[in-house]
Structure 1
């Protein structure tokens, strides 16, 4: 009986028991994994009685809710609502009141028994009926509140989200324009003025210089808020909050108040300048040093700015207060978290994240947290100020792209989750399943599978919260940009959950309401005029690719993964037009690293490959792939005879490097993204998936300042060739 009951619960909660792996083979998750995943979702699977009781509770909770929490409807579709009522109410007149975002109120009266009944159930000896009620109203795009009432009494509330059919695409791209741009990890950027980490002023400069040589966008890795009190937790894909920004990207020298004598006394001191020189000159970003510098200087600037503007009736104070009010609980939560974590660290207490905070501080909603906030009001205000300044500087950089006439401008990157100790989870514990982590089953990039240490959202809780957390994520990450790249876009359909303590390969897929999420994505895309790119690499079911395409989401095509069964590489001219193509990603080696197998050498050194046999196979495959690449490049005339045809005698050089980039530019993808690392012919990767301390991930800087990079005649010549190739591709 237990297995049957477990399977019933597995199906109710959207756990997928069978899937097709990255190599096209059928795979099944273990029976033990089913129970563990249900445990992570909060179920007790220790006996038949307990499982039956929980199934009954789940069913009962649905029937006792007259309306669903939320419904996503596409423009042009009929609006129908499921209404569940006890039998004694089905002959009474009911009213659905819809309050539009604009404030306009619309009503529709109906008698349930006159509508179409779909099913019935008995709950505690009461007979309930479910009806499908047609709502004959023409609702505009947006978020609308619904209330169900009878005899003047409100019975239930819900939300209708009216969404467009597909995501936004800029007119030039709709009309066939093919563009190119650069992808960059902002922290990697060197410049003459930054403090050992790239900042928003560097970004503005990079935009201007890139636009001047033909680029139509700059793509950023996530710039989400990390941990001011724990700067070495630096992965952009393991943030504290995905709604807010990493304050380390603030250019302190550009904030009003920096020129004040008190600030200048600090930044002119010998100790400060010694640390600053170190932060600028080291090969890898020293997050501890950068945070030490920026927090001290920003605190000094804040004290000046606060006294001058934020304690008086000034336009600056009004703008600041409006920002804080718009940020709501989410912004307050982050600022309080940052102040609390900093305070605990200063006291010498364990503080890496809320799981190790003192018990009374483990939840944002606890009374002790409110008391702390009141007692540390100025510290909290400081962290609110950092977010305000960061948002302003990002917007200023984005405006440079608009002024330069870039077709897209900035594109931002939305991480798939937040780390376990994050502020985002601290403030919404119900939404996240902290006994599990997001990851990936074994695939080409990670033969052992991957565990990313990011607790997943519970899809049912997300639904019960009327999708507000995901709405906020999409909206905030489309701000000050022309495009959004969604990391691991399959998360809209399903996520690979790994239960705490298990190996990644022992996980299983849990499904999410993909059509609803895509509808919300389309709505926010239009509201923010933001093109959407979905990173659809790894184990991707074919149905999600076609569904994403139908919803206007651009596919992400990486040259090295676009191979035919015979091992040959597809010509970029055969890529979908509705895609962004690239040669490499932040999780892959640079072109030099790939060609010289430096990634395989590194992987061996740090123990990524469980057997020599696996490594030998990877070397053999790499050798064959490189020969296929040479065949492809010569076959399409993308390189000249100065690049040899036999892989045994061809090393990576500038002609081959640039030839591969121009080869991609002639392709059919609407967007082409290239890595600055490959422009600079760098050999070390920025990240090695599956590693933690074994390699300095997310720290490696670029080898040149952006001021000198664009003075390089060869780089400018490459940019001109890319622009020419893109124009030719547009005319095909």
Structure 2
């Protein structure tokens, strides 16, 4: 049957005409959705008049050839990344082989014909991402998976901070651990601190300033005004209250920290311009460029507008004249508030300095990975990035997920997608900048929803998620750039590939050297049996759970199901089958623990008669430590036998997501006899298996 003009246009724009549902059946995308997404894209003929595409990526040893469109002779000049210049002539429509040797990196080709010139970026990439020497040598390493805000300590101000992270690294290294894996540390919203999801950031290039350890800031220590404020009874009561809260009180913590940091800023400002910290800060600002400037401007402007009107939570709620960083009203505000902008830039500087110090500590302790960061799949609609660069994002759509059993209408995440066409026109620079920012000062980068490199489910604004469609991304180009930046930054890559993973990306990820994520709960075969430790792939990280799933104790005691029932997540007739499924999972897990020798032969073999205990907890950790996976990530929640989750997917107000703290402070966790015994077992098993 002849393809319609609508289908041709959709396909040309990268919109998939079909998708495979959770039952394996192929579903067609409606014409209404195709039209809506084409309108969202506003996909003009970007770059079509040029004889060359805006960018081309050559991976590995592939032939580096181009064919310029058009007629007549062209003069070409190629400037390599290291400044070497090649030039010559080529005919239109003729095959053109790039000069050799042309090493890995970013090169620039200029094509000329008469007075006309066209420019093109050429990117030459390796085939695989970086792998630390220890893993190349076949060693197996383990670490802790930490939601930084959950950490308690005797010194923090009610939220885990970079000072706590330093302590965590020191303590973990002493127990044989090799890394601390972190939640996304992306910039959020200081003027609206209750918008706390690390997966709905304001920017993926900058840090969340709430993690600054104020006590470490030299200008806070040296400011007489800051110290008077700090030592006052009122301040001490407020800090003690925030520290003792069961849930993170973001409003209270942010208010305390901003007050303290304003005092510190007043101390920093009069420093001589030749002061070393002043020079370092000036260099940081220059390097950050427009991205840092407008991130700081947005934070300052948002604070001002929110103070005047609580409904002005972000730029979509502001008057029309303020909804873009380049509008005249905004530019006038920036000119009049240079000092305020500098303050927010300074906070980013402090955060980066402290995070860098954490990385340095991990390296002095001999950790091969040290730290790994988490890259969220997008930014929120009311973010600094969409405010400053609206062209890059399709603001009338959101990323989400197609319908499945748990969500019959699909999922709508409220994250406007990056436009792949704009990314290409810009030579993939936004993607490159984002990778560099997140690979800085760490040994691994976890990419949330790694399938986004291949495709994303776009939902037109105002529609339910079942009215969406998959939009394709240039996966091979993105994987090549990912490998190049990974090698240059000496930062390995982990892909969160849970859920429905399209077959076409599995081998691409594996061949690119990206580590897969293997969560114990999901490692079941079709017959219900759990995979044995030797069935886990080497190129993977194993874990018991994630921030979106129940803890070990929560799983075993079905605490997640009881909580879901309590807050109304399940229809009345859906709960009992879930409990039956959980009972079968527990029995299958107990069976594999015995099969693998993680439990002694005398241990109970009936799961319904076995409660979670330190002994069972040790056995599950021993099983995980014995997996063939090169990496193992453990959650402190599981060391402590905690049952409450940090996040309940699909909820907004029903549960206080991203706020639950650990039950014990760091000082007690690593002094806990059971915890030390568990970590010793894990460390020994990782070395001997």
Please state which band the TM-score falls in when normalised by the shorter chain.
Answer: over 0.9
State whether residues 147 and 154 of structure 1, in contact with CA within 8 Å, keep that contact through their aligned partners in structure 2. no
Counterpart check, 1:146 vs 2:109: yes
1:196 paired with 2:158, answer: yes
| Within-5 A mapping of 1:125-274 | 131-151=94-114, 153=115, 155-259=117-221, 260-274=223-237
> 2:346 matched to which residue of 1?
385
Q: How does 1:81-160 map to 2 (within 5 A)?
A: 81-85=66-70, 87=71, 90=72, 92=73, 94-102=74-82, 104-113=83-92, 117=93, 131-151=94-114, 153=115, 155-160=117-122
Alignment-derived partner of residue 539 in structure 1: 500
Paired with 2:99 and 2:3, the residues of 1 have a C-alpha distance of 45
- The 5 Å alignment of 1:551-700 reads 551-609=512-570, 611-640=571-600, 643-700=603-660
Other-structure match for 2:485: 524
Instruction: Measure how far apart 1:22 and its partner are.
Output: 4.0
Give the 3 Å change call, closer, same or farther, for CA 418–728 of structure 1 in structure 2: same
Is 1:79–2:64 an aligned residue pair?
Answer: yes
The answer to whether the aligner puts 1:324 opposite 2:285 as a matched pair is yes
Contact map agreement 2:614 2:674 (CA 8 A) in 1: no
Q: Distance in 2 between matches of 1:240 and 1:132?
A: 45
Give the drift of 1:518: 0.4
TM-score, structure 1 as length reference: 0.91
Tell me what 1:121 maps to: none
For 1:444 and 1:557, locate their aligned partners in 2 and report how far apart those are by CA, in whole Å. Answer: 22
The whole-number CA distance in structure 2 between the counterparts of 1:625 and 1:40 is 44
Contact 1:64–1:84 (CA under 8 A) maintained in structure 2:
no
1:359 aligns with 2:341: no
What residue in structure 1 maps to residue 271 of structure 2?
Answer: 308
1:8 matches 2:5: no
Note the C-alpha offset of 1:625: 0.8
Counterpart position of 1:276? 239
Q: Whole-Å Cα distance in 2 between the matches of residues 170 and 445 of structure 1? A: 39
**How far did 1:502 drift?**
2.2
C-alpha separation in 1, matches of 2:577 and 2:10: 38
Distance 2:407 2:498 in 1: 12
Tell me: CA distance 1:369–1:568, structure 2 relative to 1, closer, same or farther (3 Å).
same
Instruction: Check the 8 A contact 1:445/1:538 in 2, yes or no.
Output: no
Q: 1:692 Cα deviation (Å)?
A: 0.9
Structure 1: where are the runs of 5+ without partners?
44-56, 118-130
Structure 1 residue 17, shift from structure 2 partner: 2.3
Distance 1:330 1:715, change over 3 A: same
In the alignment, the residues of structure 2 paired with residue 430 and residue 672 of structure 1 have an alpha-carbon distance, to the nearest angstrom, of: 40
Q: Distance in 2 between matches of 1:249 and 1:627?
A: 41
TM-score where L is the length of structure 2 = 0.97
Secondary structure of 2:4's match?
A: helix
Distance across 2 between alignment mates of 1:2 and 1:352: 49
Alpha-carbon distance in 1 for matches of 2:370, 2:538: 19
- The RMSD of aligned alpha carbons is 1.8
* SS of aligned partner of 1:421: coil
Compared CA separation, residues 138 and 22, structure 1 to 2 (3 A): farther
**Partner in structure 2 of residue 54 of structure 1:** none
- Residue 403 of structure 2 is aligned to residue 439 of structure 1: no
Contact 1:443-1:538 within 8 A present in 2 as well: no
Q: 1:63 to 1:396 in 2, by over 3 A?
A: closer
Question: Partner of 1:140: helix, strand, or coil?
Answer: coil
Contact 1:213 1:716 in 2 (8 A): yes
Please report how far the alpha carbon of residue 484 of structure 1 lies from its aligned counterpart in structure 2 after TM superposition. 0.3
Q: Secondary structure at the match of 1:451?
A: strand
- Alpha-carbon displacement from aligned partner over 1:576-635 (angstroms, at most 9, x marks no partner): 1001111100000111111111111222222323x3333332222111111111111111
Measure, in 2, the Cα distance between the counterparts of 1:269 and 1:2: 78
Structure 2, unpaired ranges of 5+: none
Report the secondary structure of 2:220's partner residue: coil
Q: In 1, distance between residues paired with 2:404 and 2:491?
A: 31
Aligned residue pairs total 688
For residue 342 of structure 1, the aligned residue among 298, 303, 320 is 303
Give the equivalent residue in structure 1 for 2:53: 68
